[in-house]
Chain A
Amino acid sequence: MKEITVKIDGKDIKCKNGMTILEAAKTDPEINIPTLCYSDKLQPRGSCRLCMVEITKGKRKKLVASCVYPVEEGLVVETKTEKVIKIRKMLIELLWPSTQHLAEEYGITSSRFALAQDDCNLCGMCVRYCAEVKKKNVVYFKGRGVNRKIAFVPGKIDECISCEECFSLCSGGYIMNEMVKLGH
């Protein structure tokens, strides 16, 4: 694959065509972009929005989700602009407490909001792992908007007992607790 160079936070990063900004950033240990819904085992989904960065194209600046934005030659990326920090801070508060691990770095001590769902931030890693890796589609998103929840397809939960592989992806332990609640 063709090798290209992008500039992230002022540093020239060599990467391959077809990579995303986040993948390129991960090759440099000094660049740190926070994520909740990213896993190198899964297709990127661009849904938690914590990984947003600011890119410059010609004269225009634009906010993009780095986990899905493809690199291109000469792309200029900034991962810690004022706008980016503002968004991350708000998201940390909105997704509290699942974002507590980021609080200190972003100077946040508590959230002004309470999350409606205990520990689940709907990152969807369990859903995607079950669909993409296991090809089982047992875990799914039920409902939309503020009513969205993680759920198990009725009658198929037995598949989970012998698997449980998505537990390790779930930072809040939510998916495990849900199974326990269902009596497993």
Chain B
Amino acid sequence: MIKIETPKQLQDLKNEVLSKRVDIKKYITVCSGTGCIAYKSPDVSKAFDEEIKKRELSNSVQVRRTGCHGFCERGPIVVILPEKICYLGTKVEDVPEIVEKTIVNNEVIDRLLYKDIETEELMKIVEDVPFYKYQKRVLLANNALIDPTSIGDYIAIDGYSALAKVLTGISRDEVIKTVKDANLRGRGGGGFPAGVKWETTRNAPGKTKYVLVNADEGDPGAYMDRSILEGNPHSVIEGLIIGAYAIGAKEGFIYVREEYPLALENTRLAIERAGEYGLLGKNIFGSGFNFNITIHRGAGAFVSGESSALMSAIEGEAGEPRPKYIHTSVQGLWDKPSCLNNVETWANVPFIINNGVEWFRSMGTEESKGTKIFSLVGKVNNTGLVEVPMGITLRDIIFKIGSGIPDGKKFKAVQTGGPSGGVIPESLLDLPVDFDKLYEAGSMMGSGGMIVMDEDTCMVDTARYYTDFLAHESCGKCSPCREGLRQMLKILNRITAGEGRDGDIELLEEIAEVVHEASLCALGGTAANPILSTIKYFRDEYKAHINEKRCPANVCNALIKYHIDPEKCKGCGLCKKNCPVDAVIQVEEKLFEIDVEKCIKCGACIIACPKKFDAVKKISEGASVGVS
């Protein structure tokens, strides 16, 4: 294999890859991200391989296993190129028909298309599907086009051309200036300007410097970074090499959580391939610049994603934050200047180099430029990974891309920023999403989690859930975080159990202030957000729990009872049949009742009751609950 030493050789390699494709008329791209794998997409790709071979189409049709397409809820996703026909929920049984109709005869199979929730119109092409239509896919766009295990695929879409440009003609200063001018802010949560951090690391005294990728991604429900590393690892590696050159680092680390096997494997493979082609190692692009990358497997603690904890973990210590009155960019890994950025931050770099500062700045708001990937989950029709320009409103994300709330329910709140983010109520749905606006609203961008909640969600219970997560995921080193969370959790537990006391809200606020002010790291610094934001926007709900012993959303088990509406009950008996504790009693031939003494509130009766009857209800009547 030849080593790539000049931009021309890179271009030649690109041409060579493309020349092998001239006869290919159609590509069948099969999403092979973790979500679709769970839906058995490997079987689908294999079936395509066999079908293409059987029909002797191998010369003109290529099956490509790509990274995550984002619309994970509807996998396995198959997109036929160049037409971009988008099939959702594809099964092995559909494969012969797809090849026969769509590949050979250019016909579309309606059954596999996206059907609009309101108009029932069928959407043929990727860009027509509302989930994709309102996105601005930059970083994720290539995920759907390339096989992440093929460096040739990446080079074919101009991969490593930004690196070539930088190493053969852009000075370190200019690279840093470009990233600063673009105002690329850290995608890992804090939104700190990446260019400023690069410059600090570069100017810090010491010859040995490090660059690091944060792929710890411990937020429940978030998988943006995972999808990039799984689907397009070279983009992160290219960004990292460019950063290393600008900063003056010879060694880089990618910290990936062990629970991401595919991300680990694809990243490992990508580093190996890049090394073979001379894109890592000695004298890259003949510039005299040497650089190597090591993968560090994280043991899966949320707190290890914090910068000083992550560096401790790489050093072999426990992943616990350290007091850092000297920034890690000056004194980080092994006390050397170290620049840590998030996966998505690094992946933006090649785009900024290739497309320019103006292009990047054309997307977003005054202070937050570019796009951001969110994992849109919860009570929303279309869930998955969405990439949007900064400044888009929450309403557009949830109601246009997400197509609204399922089952005709009402929107209640959206939780952003991961476990230590906050909830944002309906009154703020028109908030433009950027770092500062979310912060002002009492939440944060975090790494991009976005959990939609409908009217059936209890806000006190929501706060309790996140506080519980943080109380157990805090490292426990500093006392305000550990003990503050312990006590706040106790209080929330008692409120949701119907044992809340007068003054509990104020006590929560009092503890929260100290946890926020006095904790050692940002985990504690932000840990009170779920509590403070729910109190801020849903104080009445806390009051109902404490003063009236009532859960308005009918969620908190201690405060609700199950009830069969005698007007609606048709006496089918399904509730009785499904009750695991025999708590349903037949009172008349066509009427059932629930014995609240026996009932364990598991909800089996609600699920069993036919939708058309809708007779079983949860009710929360306040102090009278439990007295039947």
Are A and B co-members of a single complex?
yes
Q: Which residues on A are within 8 Å of B, measured CB to CB?
A: 36, 45-50, 52, 63-65, 68-70, 83, 86-87, 90-91, 94-95, 112-113, 115-116, 121-122, 124, 141, 143-148
8 smallest CB-CB distances across A and B, nearest first, come from: A148-B476, A46-B323, A94-B483, A90-B514, A145-B474, A68-B323, A145-B472, A146-B486
The reply to whether A94 and B479 contact each other, CB–CB distance below 8 Å, is yes
The reply to whether A52 and B518 contact each other, CB–CB distance below 8 Å, is yes
Q: In this complex, what residue of B is CB-closest to A116?
A: B486
Q: How far is the CA of A18 from the CA of B416 in the complex (A)?
A: 41
Chain A nearest CB: distance from B167 CB in Å? 38
Q: How far is the CA of A183 from the CA of B517 in the complex (A)?
A: 42
Q: How far is the CA of A146 from the CA of B476 in the complex (A)?
A: 6
Chain A nearest CB: distance from B519 CB in Å? 7
Partner of B476, one of A63, A87, A141: A141
Given A68-B325, A87-B514, A94-B479, are A146 and B485 also a contact pair (CB < 8 Å)? Answer: yes
The reply to whether B477 and A47 contact each other, CB–CB distance below 8 Å, is yes
Can you give 23 A-B contacts (C-beta < 8 A)? A36-B479, A47-B477, A48-B478, A48-B479, A49-B478, A49-B519, A64-B325, A65-B323, A83-B517, A90-B518, A91-B480, A94-B483, A116-B486, A121-B479, A122-B476, A144-B301, A144-B474, A144-B476, A145-B470, A145-B473, A145-B474, A146-B476, A146-B485
B340 contacts chain A at the CB level, 8 A cutoff: no
Contacts of A68 in B (CB 8 A): 323, 325
- Interface centre among B475, B487, B490, by most A CB within 10 Å? B487
Contacts of B520 in A (CB 8 A): 46-47, 49, 65
Partner of A145, one of B322, B325, B482, B487: B482
Contacts of A145 in B (CB 8 A): 470-476, 482, 485
B125 contacts chain A at the CB level, 8 A cutoff: no
B303 contacts chain A at the CB level, 8 A cutoff: yes
Q: How far is the CA of A47 from the CA of B320 in the complex (A)?
A: 11
The reply to whether A122 and B511 contact each other, CB–CB distance below 8 Å, is no
The reply to whether B476 and A147 contact each other, CB–CB distance below 8 Å, is yes
Instruction: Sort chain B's interface into a size bin.
Output: 35 or more
B140 contacts chain A at the CB level, 8 A cutoff: no
Q: How far is the CA of A36 from the CA of B474 in the complex (A)?
A: 20
Excluding A70-B325, A91-B518, A94-B487, 20 further A-B contacts by CB distance (< 8 Å) are A46-B478, A47-B479, A48-B479, A49-B478, A63-B517, A68-B323, A69-B325, A87-B517, A90-B510, A90-B511, A91-B479, A113-B490, A122-B479, A141-B318, A143-B476, A145-B474, A146-B472, A146-B476, A147-B476, A148-B476
Q: How far is the CA of A148 from the CA of B485 in the complex (A)?
A: 13
Chain A nearest CB: distance from B325 CB in Å? 5
Contacts of B305 in A (CB 8 A): none
Chain B nearest CB: distance from A15 CB in Å? 16
B623 contacts chain A at the CB level, 8 A cutoff: no
Q: How far is the CA of A86 from the CA of B517 in the complex (A)?
A: 10
Chain A nearest CB: distance from B132 CB in Å? 40
Q: Which residues on B are within 8 Å of A, measured CB to CB?
A: 301, 303, 318, 322-323, 325-326, 470-480, 482-487, 489-490, 507, 510-511, 513-514, 517-520
Contacts of A90 in B (CB 8 A): 480, 484, 510-511, 514, 518
Q: How far is the CA of A52 from the CA of B480 in the complex (A)?
A: 12
The reply to whether A144 and B478 contact each other, CB–CB distance below 8 Å, is no
* Main DSSP-derived SS at the B contact region: helix
Q: In this complex, what residue of A is CB-closest to B511?
A: A90
Q: How far is the CA of A49 from the CA of B482 in the complex (A)?
A: 12
Q: How far is the CA of A147 from the CA of B483 in the complex (A)?
A: 11
Contacts of B473 in A (CB 8 A): 144-145
Q: In this complex, what residue of A is CB-closest to B469?
A: A145
Chain B nearest CB: distance from A73 CB in Å? 16
Contacts of B471 in A (CB 8 A): 145-146
Q: Total A-B pairs in contact (CB under 8 Å)? A: 100
- Interface centre among B472, B474, B482, by most A CB within 10 Å? B482
Given A46-B520, A49-B520, A87-B514, are A94 and B480 also a contact pair (CB < 8 Å)? Answer: yes
Q: How far is the CA of A115 from the CA of B301 in the complex (A)?
A: 25
Chain B nearest CB: distance from A123 CB in Å? 9
The reply to whether B303 and A144 contact each other, CB–CB distance below 8 Å, is yes
Chain B nearest CB: distance from A76 CB in Å? 16
Q: How far is the CA of A47 from the CA of B75 in the complex (A)?
A: 47
Contacts of B490 in A (CB 8 A): 113
Contacts of B483 in A (CB 8 A): 91, 94-95, 113, 115
The reply to whether B517 and A122 contact each other, CB–CB distance below 8 Å, is no
Contacts of A144 in B (CB 8 A): 301, 303, 472-476
The reply to whether A49 and B485 contact each other, CB–CB distance below 8 Å, is no
Chain A nearest CB: distance from B254 CB in Å? 24
Q: How far is the CA of A182 from the CA of B325 in the complex (A)?
A: 40
Contacts of A46 in B (CB 8 A): 322-323, 478, 520
Chain A nearest CB: distance from B91 CB in Å? 43
Contacts of A48 in B (CB 8 A): 478-479
- Interface centre among A45, A49, A91, A112, by most B CB within 10 Å? A49
The reply to whether A91 and B301 contact each other, CB–CB distance below 8 Å, is no
Q: In this complex, what residue of A is CB-closest to B475?
A: A144
Q: How far is the CA of A48 from the CA of B511 in the complex (A)?
A: 16
The reply to whether B472 and A49 contact each other, CB–CB distance below 8 Å, is no
Q: In this complex, what residue of B is CB-closest to A111?
A: B487
Contacts of B474 in A (CB 8 A): 144-146
Q: In this complex, what residue of A is CB-closest to B325?
A: A69
Contacts of B472 in A (CB 8 A): 144-147
Chain A nearest CB: distance from B133 CB in Å? 42
Q: How far is the CA of A77 from the CA of B326 in the complex (A)?
A: 18
Chain A nearest CB: distance from B309 CB in Å? 11
Contacts of A69 in B (CB 8 A): 323, 325
Chain A nearest CB: distance from B3 CB in Å? 46
Q: How far is the CA of A91 from the CA of B486 in the complex (A)?
A: 13
Q: How far is the CA of A87 from the CA of B516 in the complex (A)?
A: 10
Q: In this complex, what residue of B is CB-closest to A148?
A: B476
Contacts of A143 in B (CB 8 A): 476
The reply to whether A49 and B480 contact each other, CB–CB distance below 8 Å, is yes
Contacts of B470 in A (CB 8 A): 145
Partner of A49, one of B326, B487, B518: B518
The reply to whether A146 and B482 contact each other, CB–CB distance below 8 Å, is yes
Q: How far is the CA of A48 from the CA of B597 in the complex (A)?
A: 47
Chain A nearest CB: distance from B257 CB in Å? 16
The reply to whether B323 and A112 contact each other, CB–CB distance below 8 Å, is no
Given A68-B325, A145-B485, are A47 and B518 also a contact pair (CB < 8 Å)? Answer: no
Q: How far is the CA of A74 from the CA of B474 in the complex (A)?
A: 35
